[in-house]
Structure 1
């Protein structure tokens, strides 16, 4: 709530002008609050940098004199809707709340949720905002990062001008570590209004971020649950078929940490069986262990991930700010990476023994309504006070009017907005183009800043090439193609990708299928060969097909629990109609997926996978010559063929509006969709319409959002 108030009004910047000034300059902005801090950011053209510093300084040093009751009451409503949207009105939304209450004692900062409770949000006052801002929003408790193309000397002068006279507050000591321990096992359950399948969460207290053992614990989570060799996958997914997937990970925060396991099962699975399977997984981990090569694969992926995190200006600034605040130095990156690379097999086994094996834990069972027979044996119902559903929410009990505070003095007139500098000259990168003899088109950009390459093959067709009576074939095909090749088992393909520190994935859209890869430049030749193998030598593994089909049906089942997914599905069916393939999700329906055979996938591949439908985009630390040389191998190996993509008639425009309702019993919030078919990319009015919509409803400063959120407080967005 206090974070939201920082976007309202300050002494020299009018109501909602922060949004407007940044976006009118062509920038983007946002903020976010975690357990340990709040971050605000703007991405702006270089000629608006002084203005952004002026705005940030005003809300840091001069907010308290202009906090109004009207704006505060409005944001109370907005944040309540944010809580409804993110917690109360979604399946499994209370998970973190229950786990935190059970793990952390009263008085521990992690005992409560960042979003707060409805009671706290309602009882908050202007005095609370004033007190909080005065205590914590001080220069000596902030990190300011400027990253990008700027004049260092001039920027330092601006920072001194706008921030230099803002008073520091009382000394803020870095919080001390507050780890927790469990003396006994705690089992709790919750009947979830929206859940369609049971879910088990297990949590064990560990260590805070940057603790020497936090690194090995992160490795442990991946070795336990990620990949087809992982013991949790083998036992829970493959052998017992309890769930489509299982995840385990170390979650470290500033003063405490926890090891979490999360398993959302297939319908009607008893969570006591899942608990048994988890401990069988632990036993398998102890007896079968893992190899040094497994550890090196994790390190390879981590290195690539670090470079990806630095690939944008915003990513660089986030990294510097985080390291400065929580590790004590903005250039902690090298140390962080060194500590990751130093993790050994012995370290991982040691932290397993020290923190996980035979330790007390918290376990929660979330089950659909009236399915308490599925909870872990011995679990007690956790008390959740759910918000009463009202026809109209009562206004805040706080007094109306403005909070009276004296203006804060300044040595110069801060109401004078800095003028923008000259428009920056934009040098667009050169896009090179090429074409192979089989019709395959290539487009690329050389970008040498980091040793990374990102490339994608886009194959036109996608869902459009599905039979409307058998929707989901394209989606299942793109899934099965990642499950091994003619010469590699699913495990071998997975390991080959991980050893290169790469990421390769396939996906199906309405009008195309894509295969994308991200890797270090040094690994590109080997990664390309894997992509070629995936593309040209599918394995068609019957066992994996059956598993993927089960998981797809479960995904469809889960979507019926999500009000947003329900809204999207119904809207598309109404807009496109029953006879248009876009009226259905690319994933298919329960009936269509049940009917799909492996032979259907093979036929799709045989009839529709052609280089004549493909274009390749490649960006990064690689030349046109290097890229073309790699992809030239496809000329001889992949012959083109003609493929006709069906054209569905555009539904006739509606002659009158229609209003439709979907009842979701006990929902705490309504989702409203209003719309119709829009313009295709090729329409001459597409871009004018895009700009029009940006102003109408396409950004936080849009007319619709400003009225419904900032003026009325009806919605989070």
Structure 2
């Protein structure tokens, strides 16, 4: 969803990767060169080009050096509010702005993010739309502010406030960052407030405030434009100069100085959280800013202390004391300062004073033992693999180039970054611990379930948190006019003319190879040597489908157990073996499969597969690990019982599939079912259900077909096939008349909506045509009716979507959203109205938009390793042809308005739906009777 608030950190700096200017390109056997070219327009706009001709796509990223740290006290949230506004109307794009354009050209969806220190706008499009995107981005920079009116501002305030409710107010532990920010940073410090701001400040924002912010910060000399992908740089320079060159330079902007807070004492605060079910302890120390020499050693310290079975904190808190299922630590750096954080959610009822004592013990353990050279090298190689993964898309490269340009004044700063991380020593890690952590004042927060203040850390004071009250009619009403009169900004050419497309790109369908091993495993692969990486997935049919309905959770626990050691390796030894390769091996249970996913450097692929063989064929069956996993799983189940979104997902599955169907269950099981599971249950599932005859192996990356087959020889000869029968469950009858179901979460700040019904499998011939039909309804993001009317027209929600979700088993059609509590009825009534009118209001323009997006977006279909792996899985799972993307193009081309109407009438009937609301019953339940579907049925 647009406007995810993120911070792009310097965590992508570590690798033997060189960013260099084209004139200084280095190419050695062990270096990957990512060339770039930088130039600056007369108005101060920094422009960076990176070419990559592997796929016919191009990413455009426009980043401004302004975030919440540049706001005024009392006007917080402006940077983020502005990010929203810039996706709306501009003078020459018209209403819908970049969102509508993105849909037409087959883009990934125009998006953006805001941090303390920067705001960025980005998307990836087929390369024939590059000139259109440069035209559009320039319109936002120089030809936008006159289109913002009081009505537009009023609407977008509601959208942003809904985002805050969704991500903060209605979320377990959502207020933690607010409490820490207010305590760690003085009132005058620009990090004292949160990026999203406060509801009060957002409401108080005036049109003049907005214009003042724009004129100061949204100027060329405060921006970086990155173009990355398959394009002609000479032509692109001409376009950049044409569209951006005449935009006037702004006033000179002075950088903020680093500002690391000093704590005179350790501050302890607590809060009783309405949505928490587990007590959470969080400790935060002030540290250093981006690229400070000490930041690298702090990164290593955080990972060493908390990641994996060998980590001191895992040893003490999880294994020895059994106080918590896990511990997370990280060093987060920003432009002005940094924060070193520890977060752990204890088991239900555990006293956080005991957790604090265990934390102190774990630190003492580290002081006595330190970090070894072997562990230091293990951490470094893991980060190398992460870095290569970050380069798998042109957008990932664009992000990094912009990041370094803005905060290090040099896109090529990665060269220094690499030297800094490679220079970290074990003495450095110990030194930064003693300098910033040991015995130093910090912030301690105890977030506990409501009514459990006895669990807080001793000496804590209650934190001040502003909770919104649910009041009917509390929000201002607004009406957006059909059109707005405004003065147009002069230009030296006619900007109202949208540039033409370039040469239309051909979808590059990669070559797929396929072999079947003697034991029945089907192997599918794509060779791709753009990066020295390999990704694979061994997918074994079954998963939840093979669980006993009376003891759900066995498949999930078995998957977790498979990485808890092997016959010849303890859990710790297995983790260490994986980490030393810079690899990732995860085993996950899903509703219809158990999957072993791997990601590794190509040079370490064979060694990684040797470990996969051990995991698959030589499980350890450690009773202590099983008990620990059961504790962790039950803890997660308990916490999910207070999460409105988790509740909605679980209850919707129950209502759609009926309680007798296995897919009505959450794969984790229940507290009681997990508690009853024994090692014998896991062994029985393993012996009876894991068979190569049920498995497909998918692999993409820098490895040849022959090498893949050779790497599977041991598994082929050692894993014997057996007969496995997946039970068939009867499906409930179709919904004959709509009913409303309500799950009460007292004081919920939003109502979570799930509306839909049981639908068809993905293998049904109407499945893909139905997804085409749904694009304008709710599958097309900002091109969809649901988004345009509920978010853009009314400000009821931060996001809403609809879609079909099927496999080779019947799935669902659903509409998903979280809406402001006090308009729950109005939102559902509007959704119902949109569905009713959809078949008869679908236009030629809608069909053109649908076809344009679905056809042109195929240029992006195979860009990353993940995209290629997903395509392979579709081919293998459903027996589709390797060019199924091309076959879908034929379906789209043949689509007519009459066919859209038929499909909409068949699959989107509002009078034959399940309507589920998870929200505050005291204020919203009775109002839903007016929908005409009878009295809402209480689920709790």
1:375 counterpart residue number: 456
CA, structure 1 residues 156+134, in 2 after alignment: closer, same or farther (shift >3 Å)? same
Q: Out of 631, 643, 650, which is 1:569 matched to?
A: 650
- Residue 310 (structure 2) pairs with residue 229 (structure 1): yes
CA, structure 1 residues 400+129, in 2 after alignment: closer, same or farther (shift >3 Å)? farther
Q: Out of 147, 169, 179, which is 1:98 matched to?
A: 179
SS of alignment partner, residue 267 of structure 1: coil
Give CA-to-partner distance per residue, 1:575-606, whole Å, 9 cap, x none.
11110011011111112111111100001000
SS of alignment partner, residue 352 of structure 1: helix
CA, structure 1 residues 179+402, in 2 after alignment: closer, same or farther (shift >3 Å)? farther
Give CA-to-partner distance per residue, 1:486-509, whole Å, 9 cap, x none.
000001001001111111101011
* Whole-angstrom CA distance in 1 between matches of 2:422 and 2:756: 51
Q: Out of 786, 791, 797, which is 1:709 matched to?
A: 791
Worse-matched range after superposition: 598-607 or 419-428: 419-428
- Residue 97 (structure 2) pairs with residue 17 (structure 1): yes
* Whole-angstrom CA distance in 1 between matches of 2:481 and 2:349: 51
1:658 counterpart residue number: 739
Post-superposition shift, 1:426? 2.1
Q: Is the 8 A contact 2:90 2:97 kept in 1?
A: no
Give CA-to-partner distance per residue, 1:253-297, whole Å, 9 cap, x none.
111001101111111111111111111111010112221101000
* Whole-angstrom CA distance in 1 between matches of 2:365 and 2:766: 61
Post-superposition shift, 1:402? 10
* Whole-angstrom CA distance in 2 between matches of 1:427 and 1:7: 30
Return the structure number with greater strand share.
2
- Residue 410 (structure 2) pairs with residue 325 (structure 1): no
Q: Out of 85, 108, 119, which is 1:5 matched to?
A: 85
* Whole-angstrom CA distance in 2 between matches of 1:553 and 1:700: 38
Post-superposition shift, 1:12? 1.1
* Whole-angstrom CA distance in 1 between matches of 2:474 and 2:751: 13
Post-superposition shift, 1:300? 0.7
- Residue 282 (structure 2) pairs with residue 204 (structure 1): no
* Whole-angstrom CA distance in 1 between matches of 2:659 and 2:260: 56
SS of alignment partner, residue 740 of structure 2: coil
Post-superposition shift, 1:406? 4.1
2:725 counterpart residue number: 644
* Whole-angstrom CA distance in 1 between matches of 2:748 and 2:301: 38
- Residue 782 (structure 2) pairs with residue 700 (structure 1): yes
Matches within 5 A, 1:462-541: 462-541=543-622
* Whole-angstrom CA distance in 1 between matches of 2:621 and 2:775: 45
1:215 counterpart residue number: 296
SS of alignment partner, residue 797 of structure 2: coil
Unaligned runs of 5+ in 1: none
Post-superposition shift, 1:405? 6.5
Unaligned runs of 5+ in 2: 1-80, 800-940
2:16 counterpart residue number: none
SS of alignment partner, residue 145 of structure 1: strand
1:30 counterpart residue number: 111
Q: TM-score, normalised by structure 2?
A: 0.75
Q: Out of 159, 169, 185, which is 2:240 matched to?
A: 159
Q: Is the 8 A contact 2:155 2:478 kept in 1?
A: no
Q: Is the 8 A contact 1:67 1:402 kept in 2?
A: no
Q: Is the 8 A contact 1:51 1:419 kept in 2?
A: yes
Post-superposition shift, 1:149? 0.4
SS of alignment partner, residue 416 of structure 1: coil
Q: CA RMSD in A?
A: 1.5
1:244 counterpart residue number: 325
Post-superposition shift, 1:429? 0.9
Q: Out of 435, 452, 460, which is 1:354 matched to?
A: 435
SS of alignment partner, residue 716 of structure 1: strand
Give CA-to-partner distance per residue, 1:49-92, whole Å, 9 cap, x none.
11111111001101111112222111110000000000001110
Q: Is the 8 A contact 1:303 1:337 kept in 2?
A: no
Q: Out of 133, 137, 141, which is 2:222 matched to?
A: 141
Q: Is the 8 A contact 1:70 1:402 kept in 2?
A: no
Q: Is the 8 A contact 2:269 2:445 kept in 1?
A: yes
2:416 counterpart residue number: 335
Q: Is the 8 A contact 1:563 1:671 kept in 2?
A: yes
Post-superposition shift, 1:397? 10
Q: Out of 251, 262, 266, which is 2:347 matched to?
A: 266
* Whole-angstrom CA distance in 2 between matches of 1:147 and 1:304: 22
Matches within 5 A, 1:394-405: 394-395=475-476
Post-superposition shift, 1:333? 2.4
Q: Is the 8 A contact 2:154 2:478 kept in 1?
A: no
Post-superposition shift, 1:335? 2.4
Q: Out of 194, 197, 204, which is 1:123 matched to?
A: 204
Q: Out of 477, 488, 491, which is 1:410 matched to?
A: 491
Post-superposition shift, 1:127? 1.0
Give CA-to-partner distance per residue, 1:472-498, whole Å, 9 cap, x none.
100000000100000000010010011
Give CA-to-partner distance per residue, 1:353-373, whole Å, 9 cap, x none.
111111011101101111111
Figure out how many residues of one structure are paired with residues of the other and give that number. Answer: 717
* Whole-angstrom CA distance in 1 between matches of 2:543 and 2:480: 57
SS of alignment partner, residue 798 of structure 2: coil
Give CA-to-partner distance per residue, 1:398-445, whole Å, 9 cap, x none.
999999964321100100001112321222110111111111111111
* Whole-angstrom CA distance in 2 between matches of 1:623 and 1:182: 57
2:69 counterpart residue number: none
